Structure 1
Amino acid sequence: MRKTYDKEFKLQAVRMVKEDGKRIAEVARELDLAEQTLHNWVKKYNQGKETAFVGSGNIQPEQKAERELQKRVRDLEEENAILKKAMGIFAKDQK
């Protein structure tokens, strides 16, 4: 069965490597982790710092903003299409 670790655990492990200057192999042994797992966490942390570990089902703030913008564009395009249809209907009624 696959183990899951919360954000705080991952950050603690990464800090042991980054701030305490311990080797990845040493920290992995201490915390009963696979070295590759810890290596991946350190790499992820280096790329995103505190936002590196958003948790299962959650997304990065940048991705969330992008999704919200995409939804807004879709909604506006739909509203635009409805208004065009309404204009066409009203234009026919004017004749």
Structure 2
Amino acid sequence: MSRSSKYPEQFRQDAVALARSSTRPLAQVARELGVNHETLRNWVRNAERGESAPSSETTVGEQERELRELRKRVAELELEKEILRKAAAYFAKEMGR
């Protein structure tokens, strides 16, 4: 999809999110955004296709790197949680004096 669009990528993503979350008809959402309803329909379809098929641009190395980063972040959050748990127990004991 090297074809350029007159709409920025972020606008298209936001429009798709709005169309998916809205109870209004797609044509009405498109009209409110000032885009053709078929254009919005295509954006939604493309987003659905992109979600169902794994990206060929994502390599195994990138996935492994992301997994390492996520595991590191989980470890940091678990440590923070433990520190906060201990602090809460300490202050609860102090308040009981």
What is the TM-score with the length of structure 2 in the denominator?
0.46
What is the TM-score with the length of structure 1 in the denominator?
0.47
Considering Cα pairs closer than 8 Å and 6+ residues apart, tell me whether 1 or 2 has the greater RCO: 1
Report the structure number with the largest CA radius of gyration: 1
